[in-house]
Amino acid sequence: MVIIHFQNVNQFKKRSGGSFGKQNISQNKNIYMKYVALLMIVTGLWIAYEIWRAPLLEETENGNYKTKRPTKKLSDLWRKRN
């Protein structure tokens, strides 16, 4: 069994990584988690928008669908309602 002894361990503990780069790994995880959280928020807002703009349909007696309320546009969000 061979025991390796590092006399100058401090040179490996640099903030830029080295063989003891645990700080960089945890920093990268935090960055990736921020991207994942941002992606989830954007996806949630997009799904909410798609639900809001969907047309309202009504089924007729013969099985067809009739549009009760047409598809909305993004500009309808800022339009005043009468």
Q: Rounded to whole angstroms, what are the CA distances from 58 to 28, 35, 41, 71, 75? A: 51, 41, 32, 14, 25
The SS3 of residue 36 is: helix
* Predicted pLDDT at 44: 98
Consecutive 10-residue averages of pLDDT for the chain (82 residues)? 60 52 65 93 96 91 90 84 69
* Predicted pLDDT at 77: 80
CB 56 within 8 A of CB 68: yes
Give which of 55, 50, 57 is closest to 74, Cα–Cα: 50
* Predicted pLDDT at 50: 94
